[in-house]
Amino acid sequence: MVFKNIDQDKNIEILKIPRERVGVLIGKKGSVKKTIEKELGVKLEIDEDGTVTIYGTDKQKDPLAVWKAKDIVRAIGRGFNPEIALKLVSDEYVLEVIDIEDYAGSEKSLRRLKGRVIGKEGKSRRYIEELTESNVSVYGKTVSIVGEHDSVQIAKEAVEMLLRGASHAKTFKFLERERQKIKKTKFELWKKKSEVDELYEKMNQNYDNYENEDFED
């Protein structure tokens, strides 16, 4: 298949997703594929076996467009719905993928560890999502996280604590402490921004007053 407007100087990335996720990546009447291409200015070639080739084109404005598209494709491949995966278009969002096999010695152990992360009726996974304001997908042999950088790192640590055998109570206490730290940091940033905005407003007022005085003279 040959695409128009492909810039041979741009990067080309190839990856593979599970075959059962190909339909989700394409979307109804190609809607998801078209959205990724439009948002990032790339072209996707999707094979039935799950092989996805991402081409840079002369339409892309973001130098990281191909890598962002790769992360979006990976996220969909790891179980996220397209709406969540497309958050990765933003520079503020990142994807983290944890391989459960790194912590499991057998298939039985892998299933048990997946169960620990998900929790009864999905409670553990939801709690991690709520306290970190991120999205978590347990799919196949991986746990994947999408969110803002700091939140994803905290969620990743919580997941790895559970995979290493930490109790849910200990993990949730860790999440609550980290959440308070994030809230405090955000408040301090908001306060600093407010102070800067106030100073800027005063400077504008002083400048306006100065111009008015000159005009009256």
Q: 82 Cβ partners below 8 Å, 6+ apart?
A: 24, 25, 27, 32, 35, 76
At 185-195, the pLDDT tens digits run 655 666 566 66
Burial class (CB in 10 A: 0-12, 13-18, 19+), 176: exposed
Q: How far apart are CA 179 and CA 130, in angstroms?
A: 10
Domains and CATH numbers, the chain: 1-90 (3.30.1370.10), 92-184 (3.30.1370.10)
Q: 40 Cβ partners below 8 Å, 6+ apart?
A: 60, 62, 65, 66, 68, 69, 89
Q: In the predicted model, is pLDDT for residue 8 greater than 50?
A: no
Identity of the residue numbered 29: K
User: Cβ distance 98 to 144 under 8 Å?
Assistant: yes
DSSP character for 103? T
User: Cβ distance 108 to 129 under 8 Å?
Assistant: no
Determine the 3-state secondary structure of 204 from DSSP. Answer: helix
Q: Please, which contacts does 4-8 make with residues 24 or more away whose CB atoms are closer than 8 Å?
A: 5/43, 5/57, 5/58, 5/59, 6/43, 6/55, 6/56, 6/57, 6/58, 7/56, 7/57, 7/58
At 119-175, the pLDDT tens digits run 999 999 999 999 999 999 999 999 999 999 999 999 999 999 999 999 999 999 999
Q: In the predicted model, is pLDDT for residue 184 greater than 80?
A: no
Q: How far apart are CA 199 and CA 187, in angstroms?
A: 18
Specify the pLDDT at position 11: 85
At 67-126, the pLDDT tens digits run 999 999 999 999 999 999 999 999 999 999 999 999 998 999 999 999 999 999 999 999
Q: How far apart are CA 84 and CA 110, in angstroms?
A: 26
CA-derived radius of gyration, the chain: 23
- Of 52, 58, 45, 47, residue with least CA distance to 4: 58
Q: Which residue has the tokens 């709406």?
A: 83
User: pTM for the whole thing?
Assistant: 0.81
